A and B are shown apart, each in its own frame.
Chain A
Amino acid sequence: MIEPEISSINPEPADKSKIWKIWKVAIILGLVTAAEFYVALQFPESWKSFKIFLFIGMTFVKAGYIIGEFMHLAHEQKSLMWTILIPCVFVVWLLGALFIQADAIYQAIYS
Protein backbone atom coordinates (compact mmCIF):
# COMPACT_ATOMS: atom_id res chain seq x y z
CA MET A 1 0.00 0.00 0.00
CA ILE A 2 2.79 2.44 0.83
CA GLU A 3 3.82 4.24 -2.30
CA PRO A 4 6.38 7.02 -2.77
CA GLU A 5 5.05 10.43 -1.93
CA ILE A 6 3.49 12.60 -4.58
CA SER A 7 2.96 15.94 -2.90
CA SER A 8 1.35 17.75 -5.75
CA ILE A 9 -1.52 18.79 -3.49
CA ASN A 10 -1.37 22.29 -2.08
CA PRO A 11 -3.56 22.63 1.01
CA GLU A 12 -5.88 25.58 1.10
CA PRO A 13 -4.98 28.16 3.75
CA ALA A 14 -6.95 27.98 7.00
CA ASP A 15 -9.92 30.27 7.39
CA LYS A 16 -9.21 32.10 10.65
CA SER A 17 -12.88 32.83 11.40
CA LYS A 18 -13.78 29.13 11.12
CA ILE A 19 -11.01 28.14 13.52
CA TRP A 20 -12.06 30.86 15.95
CA LYS A 21 -15.66 29.56 15.83
CA ILE A 22 -14.45 26.08 16.84
CA TRP A 23 -12.52 27.50 19.79
CA LYS A 24 -15.50 29.64 20.77
CA VAL A 25 -17.65 26.51 21.15
CA ALA A 26 -14.81 24.91 23.12
CA ILE A 27 -14.71 27.90 25.49
CA ILE A 28 -18.50 27.74 25.99
CA LEU A 29 -18.28 24.01 26.83
CA GLY A 30 -15.47 24.71 29.28
CA LEU A 31 -17.35 27.55 30.96
CA VAL A 32 -20.54 25.49 31.35
CA THR A 33 -18.52 22.65 32.92
CA ALA A 34 -16.90 25.15 35.29
CA ALA A 35 -20.36 26.48 36.17
CA GLU A 36 -21.50 22.92 36.95
CA PHE A 37 -18.64 22.64 39.43
CA TYR A 38 -19.54 25.92 41.02
CA VAL A 39 -23.15 24.79 41.47
CA ALA A 40 -22.10 21.36 42.80
CA LEU A 41 -19.67 22.65 45.41
CA GLN A 42 -20.81 26.18 46.32
CA PHE A 43 -24.61 26.13 46.29
CA PRO A 44 -26.22 25.17 49.65
CA GLU A 45 -27.18 21.52 50.15
CA SER A 46 -30.79 22.44 50.81
CA TRP A 47 -31.27 23.56 47.20
CA LYS A 48 -31.14 19.95 46.05
CA SER A 49 -33.96 19.97 43.48
CA PHE A 50 -32.89 23.34 42.11
CA LYS A 51 -29.33 22.06 41.72
CA ILE A 52 -30.53 18.96 39.86
CA PHE A 53 -32.63 21.19 37.60
CA LEU A 54 -29.57 23.33 36.84
CA PHE A 55 -27.35 20.29 36.19
CA ILE A 56 -29.81 18.83 33.71
CA GLY A 57 -30.28 22.20 32.01
CA MET A 58 -26.53 22.73 31.64
CA THR A 59 -26.04 19.16 30.39
CA PHE A 60 -28.51 19.82 27.57
CA VAL A 61 -26.76 23.08 26.69
CA LYS A 62 -23.49 21.16 26.35
CA ALA A 63 -25.17 18.32 24.45
CA GLY A 64 -26.69 20.87 22.07
CA TYR A 65 -23.32 22.42 21.26
CA ILE A 66 -21.60 19.05 20.82
CA ILE A 67 -24.32 17.61 18.56
CA GLY A 68 -25.13 20.81 16.70
CA GLU A 69 -21.66 22.25 16.12
CA PHE A 70 -19.03 19.54 16.64
CA MET A 71 -21.11 16.80 15.04
CA HIS A 72 -22.41 19.41 12.61
CA LEU A 73 -26.03 18.26 12.83
CA ALA A 74 -27.38 21.81 13.02
CA HIS A 75 -25.91 22.49 9.59
CA GLU A 76 -27.14 19.33 7.88
CA GLN A 77 -30.45 19.11 6.06
CA LYS A 78 -33.39 19.67 8.42
CA SER A 79 -34.87 16.29 7.46
CA LEU A 80 -31.68 14.53 8.58
CA MET A 81 -31.64 16.50 11.82
CA TRP A 82 -35.18 15.46 12.72
CA THR A 83 -34.55 11.86 11.67
CA ILE A 84 -31.83 11.75 14.30
CA LEU A 85 -33.58 13.75 17.03
CA ILE A 86 -37.17 12.52 16.97
CA PRO A 87 -36.43 8.86 17.89
CA CYS A 88 -34.93 10.18 21.14
CA VAL A 89 -38.51 10.79 22.31
CA PHE A 90 -38.57 7.09 23.16
CA VAL A 91 -35.89 7.74 25.76
CA VAL A 92 -38.22 10.19 27.49
CA TRP A 93 -40.95 7.58 27.47
CA LEU A 94 -38.61 4.95 28.99
CA LEU A 95 -37.55 7.45 31.63
CA GLY A 96 -41.15 8.20 32.62
CA ALA A 97 -42.26 4.57 32.63
CA LEU A 98 -39.33 3.26 34.66
CA PHE A 99 -39.37 6.07 37.21
CA ILE A 100 -43.02 5.37 38.01
CA GLN A 101 -41.95 1.75 38.46
CA ALA A 102 -39.03 2.74 40.70
CA ASP A 103 -41.33 4.76 42.94
CA ALA A 104 -43.73 1.83 43.21
CA ILE A 105 -40.88 -0.49 44.29
CA TYR A 106 -39.69 2.06 46.84
CA GLN A 107 -43.22 2.45 48.27
CA ALA A 108 -43.63 -1.34 48.46
CA ILE A 109 -40.38 -1.79 50.41
CA TYR A 110 -40.15 1.29 52.64
CA SER A 111 -43.68 2.40 53.45
Chain B
Amino acid sequence: MANQATLPTSEKDLWSGGTEPFKASYGKLMMWFFLISDAFTFSAFLIAYGVIRFRHPGYDGTLSDFSFSQSYWPVPEKVFEAFPFFHGVELPLVFVGLMTFILILSSVTMVLAVEAGHRMDRQAVEKWMIWTIFGGLTFLGCQAWEWSHFIHGTDAGTKLLDGSIIYGANLQTNQYGPPDFAAFFFFITGFHGFHVFSGVALNFLIFYQATVGILERRGHYEMVEKVGLYWHFVDLVWVFVFTFFYLV
Protein backbone atom coordinates (compact mmCIF):
# COMPACT_ATOMS: atom_id res chain seq x y z
CA MET B 1 0.00 0.00 0.00
CA ALA B 2 1.54 3.24 -1.02
CA ASN B 3 0.63 5.06 2.15
CA GLN B 4 3.59 7.39 1.91
CA ALA B 5 2.43 10.95 2.33
CA THR B 6 2.37 12.32 -1.17
CA LEU B 7 3.41 15.82 -0.24
CA PRO B 8 5.08 17.99 -2.77
CA THR B 9 8.59 18.84 -1.68
CA SER B 10 8.21 22.37 -0.54
CA GLU B 11 9.75 24.57 2.09
CA LYS B 12 7.28 23.49 4.78
CA ASP B 13 8.27 19.81 4.48
CA LEU B 14 11.83 20.51 5.48
CA TRP B 15 12.98 20.38 9.07
CA SER B 16 14.78 23.42 10.46
CA GLY B 17 18.10 21.94 9.44
CA GLY B 18 16.98 22.12 5.84
CA THR B 19 16.75 18.40 5.14
CA GLU B 20 14.27 15.68 5.98
CA PRO B 21 15.93 12.71 7.74
CA PHE B 22 14.75 9.28 6.52
CA LYS B 23 12.45 11.07 4.04
CA ALA B 24 9.87 11.15 6.83
CA SER B 25 8.16 14.22 8.19
CA TYR B 26 9.02 15.38 11.68
CA GLY B 27 5.66 14.34 13.09
CA LYS B 28 5.75 10.84 11.64
CA LEU B 29 9.29 10.18 12.78
CA MET B 30 8.56 11.35 16.32
CA MET B 31 5.46 9.15 16.38
CA TRP B 32 7.67 6.18 15.44
CA PHE B 33 10.13 6.98 18.23
CA PHE B 34 7.31 7.31 20.72
CA LEU B 35 5.94 3.96 19.58
CA ILE B 36 9.31 2.27 20.13
CA SER B 37 9.40 3.50 23.70
CA ASP B 38 5.81 2.38 24.19
CA ALA B 39 6.71 -1.00 22.72
CA PHE B 40 9.44 -1.33 25.35
CA THR B 41 6.93 -0.57 28.11
CA PHE B 42 4.54 -3.24 26.87
CA SER B 43 7.41 -5.71 26.37
CA ALA B 44 8.43 -5.15 29.98
CA PHE B 45 4.88 -5.86 31.16
CA LEU B 46 4.53 -9.02 29.10
CA ILE B 47 7.99 -10.33 30.04
CA ALA B 48 7.27 -9.62 33.72
CA TYR B 49 4.06 -11.63 33.29
CA GLY B 50 6.08 -14.50 31.81
CA VAL B 51 8.57 -14.39 34.67
CA ILE B 52 5.90 -14.48 37.39
CA ARG B 53 4.06 -17.20 35.53
CA PHE B 54 7.12 -19.45 35.28
CA ARG B 55 8.08 -18.98 38.91
CA HIS B 56 4.73 -20.58 39.80
CA PRO B 57 4.06 -24.25 39.17
CA GLY B 58 1.95 -24.94 36.08
CA TYR B 59 -1.16 -27.10 36.00
CA ASP B 60 -0.24 -30.55 34.76
CA GLY B 61 -3.44 -32.59 34.87
CA THR B 62 -5.88 -32.90 31.99
CA LEU B 63 -8.03 -29.94 31.01
CA SER B 64 -11.32 -31.67 31.80
CA ASP B 65 -10.27 -32.15 35.45
CA PHE B 66 -9.08 -28.57 35.82
CA SER B 67 -10.27 -26.63 38.85
CA PHE B 68 -9.19 -23.23 40.12
CA SER B 69 -6.54 -23.32 42.84
CA GLN B 70 -4.17 -20.88 44.48
CA SER B 71 -1.32 -23.38 44.25
CA TYR B 72 -0.79 -23.33 40.47
CA TRP B 73 -1.16 -20.91 37.57
CA PRO B 74 -4.59 -21.20 35.89
CA VAL B 75 -5.12 -22.31 32.29
CA PRO B 76 -6.35 -19.15 30.48
CA GLU B 77 -8.95 -20.91 28.36
CA LYS B 78 -10.62 -22.12 31.56
CA VAL B 79 -10.71 -18.59 33.00
CA PHE B 80 -11.91 -16.73 29.92
CA GLU B 81 -14.81 -18.80 28.69
CA ALA B 82 -17.81 -16.57 29.33
CA PHE B 83 -19.82 -14.74 26.70
CA PRO B 84 -22.51 -12.06 27.19
CA PHE B 85 -26.07 -13.50 27.27
CA PHE B 86 -24.72 -17.06 27.34
CA HIS B 87 -24.57 -17.50 31.07
CA GLY B 88 -23.20 -20.85 32.15
CA VAL B 89 -22.21 -21.94 28.63
CA GLU B 90 -18.51 -22.75 28.26
CA LEU B 91 -17.18 -20.88 25.24
CA PRO B 92 -13.43 -20.82 25.76
CA LEU B 93 -11.71 -17.75 24.30
CA VAL B 94 -14.64 -16.95 21.99
CA PHE B 95 -15.21 -13.51 23.47
CA VAL B 96 -11.55 -12.42 23.35
CA GLY B 97 -11.43 -13.80 19.83
CA LEU B 98 -14.34 -11.56 18.88
CA MET B 99 -12.54 -8.59 20.49
CA THR B 100 -9.43 -9.41 18.43
CA PHE B 101 -11.45 -9.41 15.20
CA ILE B 102 -13.10 -6.10 16.12
CA LEU B 103 -9.74 -4.43 16.75
CA ILE B 104 -8.19 -5.82 13.54
CA LEU B 105 -11.19 -4.58 11.56
CA SER B 106 -10.92 -1.11 13.06
CA SER B 107 -7.26 -1.12 12.03
CA VAL B 108 -8.34 -1.94 8.48
CA THR B 109 -10.83 0.93 8.38
CA MET B 110 -8.03 3.18 9.63
CA VAL B 111 -5.80 2.19 6.69
CA LEU B 112 -8.72 2.95 4.38
CA ALA B 113 -9.07 6.39 6.00
CA VAL B 114 -5.36 7.06 5.44
CA GLU B 115 -5.69 5.93 1.83
CA ALA B 116 -8.68 8.26 1.35
CA GLY B 117 -6.65 11.09 2.88
CA HIS B 118 -3.98 10.68 0.20
CA ARG B 119 -6.65 11.21 -2.43
CA MET B 120 -7.95 14.30 -0.58
CA ASP B 121 -11.32 12.57 -0.42
CA ARG B 122 -12.86 14.19 2.62
CA GLN B 123 -16.10 12.22 2.59
CA ALA B 124 -14.29 8.90 2.52
CA VAL B 125 -11.99 10.01 5.37
CA GLU B 126 -15.03 10.89 7.45
CA LYS B 127 -16.74 7.60 6.69
CA TRP B 128 -13.75 5.41 7.55
CA MET B 129 -12.85 7.44 10.65
CA ILE B 130 -16.39 6.94 11.96
CA TRP B 131 -16.04 3.18 11.47
CA THR B 132 -12.66 3.22 13.21
CA ILE B 133 -14.08 5.13 16.18
CA PHE B 134 -17.03 2.74 16.29
CA GLY B 135 -14.68 -0.27 16.34
CA GLY B 136 -12.62 1.26 19.13
CA LEU B 137 -15.68 2.00 21.25
CA THR B 138 -17.04 -1.51 20.69
CA PHE B 139 -13.73 -2.97 21.81
CA LEU B 140 -13.79 -0.82 24.96
CA GLY B 141 -17.34 -1.94 25.69
CA CYS B 142 -16.33 -5.59 25.34
CA GLN B 143 -13.41 -5.01 27.65
CA ALA B 144 -15.66 -3.41 30.26
CA TRP B 145 -17.88 -6.48 30.17
CA GLU B 146 -14.90 -8.81 30.44
CA TRP B 147 -13.48 -6.93 33.41
CA SER B 148 -16.85 -6.92 35.12
CA HIS B 149 -17.16 -10.68 34.64
CA PHE B 150 -13.61 -11.26 35.84
CA ILE B 151 -14.18 -9.15 38.97
CA HIS B 152 -17.50 -10.75 39.89
CA GLY B 153 -16.38 -14.30 39.22
CA THR B 154 -18.18 -17.57 38.57
CA ASP B 155 -21.30 -18.79 40.36
CA ALA B 156 -19.47 -21.47 42.34
CA GLY B 157 -16.45 -19.44 43.38
CA THR B 158 -13.34 -21.16 44.68
CA LYS B 159 -13.02 -22.78 48.10
CA LEU B 160 -9.85 -21.97 50.00
CA LEU B 161 -8.05 -24.35 52.36
CA ASP B 162 -9.61 -22.67 55.40
CA GLY B 163 -13.09 -23.37 54.04
CA SER B 164 -13.96 -19.85 52.96
CA ILE B 165 -15.20 -19.29 49.41
CA ILE B 166 -14.02 -16.39 47.26
CA TYR B 167 -15.74 -15.08 44.18
CA GLY B 168 -14.03 -13.29 41.36
CA ALA B 169 -10.83 -11.34 41.57
CA ASN B 170 -9.50 -8.06 42.82
CA LEU B 171 -6.05 -6.86 43.83
CA GLN B 172 -6.10 -8.83 47.12
CA THR B 173 -7.84 -12.11 46.38
CA ASN B 174 -8.32 -14.11 43.23
CA GLN B 175 -10.55 -17.13 42.73
CA TYR B 176 -8.80 -18.16 39.51
CA GLY B 177 -5.29 -18.74 40.82
CA PRO B 178 -2.40 -16.94 42.49
CA PRO B 179 -3.23 -13.25 43.26
CA ASP B 180 -0.48 -12.17 40.83
CA PHE B 181 -2.56 -13.56 37.97
CA ALA B 182 -5.35 -11.04 38.56
CA ALA B 183 -2.86 -8.23 39.18
CA PHE B 184 -1.29 -8.82 35.78
CA PHE B 185 -4.66 -9.14 34.10
CA PHE B 186 -5.72 -5.74 35.41
CA PHE B 187 -2.37 -4.15 34.69
CA ILE B 188 -1.76 -5.40 31.16
CA THR B 189 -5.28 -5.32 29.74
CA GLY B 190 -5.92 -2.10 31.66
CA PHE B 191 -2.87 -0.35 30.25
CA HIS B 192 -3.79 -1.55 26.78
CA GLY B 193 -7.40 -0.48 27.30
CA PHE B 194 -6.22 2.98 28.27
CA HIS B 195 -4.24 3.12 25.02
CA VAL B 196 -7.39 2.19 23.12
CA PHE B 197 -9.26 4.93 24.95
CA SER B 198 -6.61 7.53 24.07
CA GLY B 199 -6.65 6.24 20.50
CA VAL B 200 -10.41 6.71 20.26
CA ALA B 201 -10.04 10.25 21.63
CA LEU B 202 -7.34 11.07 19.03
CA ASN B 203 -9.38 9.46 16.26
CA PHE B 204 -12.34 11.58 17.24
CA LEU B 205 -10.21 14.71 17.16
CA ILE B 206 -9.03 13.88 13.65
CA PHE B 207 -12.55 13.04 12.56
CA TYR B 208 -13.66 16.43 13.84
CA GLN B 209 -10.82 18.25 12.09
CA ALA B 210 -11.59 16.45 8.84
CA THR B 211 -15.31 17.19 9.12
CA VAL B 212 -14.97 20.93 9.66
CA GLY B 213 -12.45 21.11 6.84
CA ILE B 214 -9.32 21.99 8.83
CA LEU B 215 -7.31 19.23 7.19
CA GLU B 216 -8.56 20.09 3.73
CA ARG B 217 -7.53 23.71 4.16
CA ARG B 218 -4.13 22.58 5.43
CA GLY B 219 -3.66 20.91 2.06
CA HIS B 220 -2.87 17.39 3.29
CA TYR B 221 -4.25 14.69 5.56
CA GLU B 222 -1.00 13.72 7.25
CA MET B 223 -2.57 13.91 10.73
CA VAL B 224 -4.73 10.92 9.79
CA GLU B 225 -1.53 9.04 8.98
CA LYS B 226 0.18 9.92 12.28
CA VAL B 227 -2.81 9.01 14.42
CA GLY B 228 -3.18 5.93 12.23
CA LEU B 229 0.33 4.81 13.22
CA TYR B 230 -0.71 5.01 16.88
CA TRP B 231 -3.95 3.15 16.23
CA HIS B 232 -2.18 0.29 14.41
CA PHE B 233 0.28 0.08 17.27
CA VAL B 234 -2.61 -0.43 19.70
CA ASP B 235 -3.80 -3.27 17.48
CA LEU B 236 -0.27 -4.69 17.32
CA VAL B 237 0.01 -4.73 21.12
CA TRP B 238 -3.31 -6.52 21.37
CA VAL B 239 -2.02 -9.24 19.02
CA PHE B 240 0.81 -9.87 21.49
CA VAL B 241 -1.40 -9.62 24.59
CA PHE B 242 -3.84 -12.06 22.98
CA THR B 243 -1.09 -14.61 22.37
CA PHE B 244 0.84 -14.34 25.60
CA PHE B 245 -2.03 -13.77 28.01
CA TYR B 246 -4.86 -15.78 26.52
CA LEU B 247 -3.37 -18.48 24.30
CA VAL B 248 -0.01 -19.63 25.67
Contacts and interface: CB of A to CB of B under 8 A. Distances in A.
Nearest to A68: B1
Contact of A21 (B1, B24, B101, B217): B1
Given A9-B120, A79-B22, A95-B47, A88 B243 contact: no
A2 B63 contact: no
Interface of B: 1-4, 22-24, 29, 32, 36, 39-40, 43-44, 47-48, 50-52, 54-57, 62-63, 77, 92-93, 97, 100-101, 104-105, 107-108, 110-112, 115-116, 119-124, 212-214, 216-217, 229, 232-233, 235-236, 239-240, 242-243, 247-248
Nearest to A104: B55
A84 B119 contact: no
A25 B243 CA distance: 19
Interface of A: 1-3, 5-6, 9, 11-14, 18-19, 21-23, 25-26, 29-30, 33, 36-37, 40-41, 45, 52, 55-56, 58-59, 62-63, 66-67, 69-72, 75-77, 79-80, 83-84, 87-88, 90-91, 94-95, 98-99, 101-103, 105-106, 109-110
Nearest to A23: B108
Given A41-B93, A106-B56, 9 more contacts: A22-B111, A59-B243, A70-B232, A75-B3, A80-B24, A94-B44, A102-B50, A102-B52, A105-B55
Contacts of A22: 1, 108, 111-112, 115
A9 B43 contact: no
Among A58, A71, A103, max chain B CB count under 10 A is at A71
Contact of B47 (A6, A29, A98): A98
Contacts of A45: 62-63
Given A40-B247, A59-B239, A14 B124 contact: yes
Contacts of A94: 43-44, 47
Given A59-B239, A94-B47, A72 B214 contact: no
A11 B122 contact: yes
A99 to B, nearest CB: 7
A59 B241 CA distance: 10
A29 B104 contact: yes
A21 B3 CA distance: 12
30 contacts: A6-B213, A9-B120, A11-B119, A11-B120, A12-B120, A14-B121, A19-B112, A22-B111, A26-B104, A29-B104, A41-B92, A45-B63, A56-B243, A59-B239, A66-B236, A70-B108, A71-B236, A72-B1, A76-B4, A77-B22, A77-B23, A80-B22, A80-B29, A84-B32, A91-B47, A94-B47, A95-B43, A98-B50, A101-B51, A105-B55
Contacts of A5: 213
Contacts of A18: 1-2, 115
Given A37-B97, A94-B44, A99-B51, A71 B240 contact: no
Nearest to B123: A11
A83 B22 CA distance: 10
B232 A71 contact: yes
A84 B40 CA distance: 12
